Amino acid sequence: MVTKELKILIPKFLARLELDGYSEEVKKNNKWILAHFKKYCITNQVIEISMNVMEVFLKEKYDINLYETITYEFYLKYYAFVNSLGLALSTKARKLMFVKQLLSYLKEIGIREICDLTKEHIYTYQSKENGHSASTKKIELYVFREALNWI
């Protein structure tokens, strides 16, 4: 696909989401991500859009590896959930940061699917020295519990 086609394809895609009955939040998130992608393509003078271009975009912009299921699926859905909450931007950013750090740790220890996650993984992660104070670790644990209950 040629980058110039984004002007036509993005509105068609968003209209299709509307026709398929997706929620306002899903439509808003897709519109936001696609706007960033379009800007990325223009800034980086991308002429031809490929899976490689999309993979690099997701990695650079959101630190998401397109081919890692746990990161891609869970984080994007949790991201949409957190952004749908009526919270301050700093609170949203903190929640997302904690979950992103946990997902990075899970990747390091070889956990690729949420269903393989155990409470021991969380406790081991929390016991690691990461410079967080005891009160921050309590908040972090609350965020993890909230994210896992959300699923």
Task: Examine residue 50 and state whether it is found in any structural domain, yes or no.
Answer: yes
Average pLDDT over the chain reads 86
Task: Examine residue 76 and state whether it is found in any structural domain, yes or no.
Answer: no
Task: Examine residue 73 and state whether it is found in any structural domain, yes or no.
Answer: no
Q: Around Cβ 144, how many Cβ atoms within 10 Å?
A: 19
Task: Examine residue 33 and state whether it is found in any structural domain, yes or no.
Answer: yes
pLDDT tens digit string along 91-113? 999 999 999 888 888 888 988 77
Distance between CA atoms of 109 and 66, rounded to whole angstroms? Answer: 19
Distance between CA atoms of 42 and 6, rounded to whole angstroms? Answer: 11
Which of 126, 143, 32, 16 is CA-nearest to residue 82? 143
For the CA atoms of the chain, what is the radius of gyration? 18
Task: Examine residue 90 and state whether it is found in any structural domain, yes or no.
Answer: yes
What does the pLDDT read at residue 24? 84
Q: Confidence class of residue 40 from pLDDT cuts 50, 70 and 90?
A: very high
Whether residues 18 and 58 fall in one domain: yes
Whether residues 58 and 106 fall in one domain: no
What does the pLDDT read at residue 47? 92
pTM to 2 decimals? 0.58
Whether residues 3 and 49 fall in one domain: yes
pLDDT tens digit string along 14-39? 999 888 888 888 888 888 889 999 99
**Residue 68: pLDDT over 80:** no
Which of 44, 56, 33, 60 is CA-nearest to residue 3? 44
Whether residues 15 and 53 fall in one domain: yes
Domain count across the chain: 2
What does the pLDDT read at residue 15? 92
Which of 112, 111, 139, 137 is CA-nearest to residue 126? 137
Q: 22's torsion region: left (phi>0), alpha (psi -120 to 50) or beta?
A: beta
What does the pLDDT read at residue 43? 93
**Residue 69: pLDDT over 70:** no
Task: Examine residue 74 and state whether it is found in any structural domain, yes or no.
Answer: no
Domain of 27, in residue numbers: 1-62
Which of 93, 6, 92, 86 is CA-nearest to residue 54? 6
Task: Examine residue 72 and state whether it is found in any structural domain, yes or no.
Answer: no
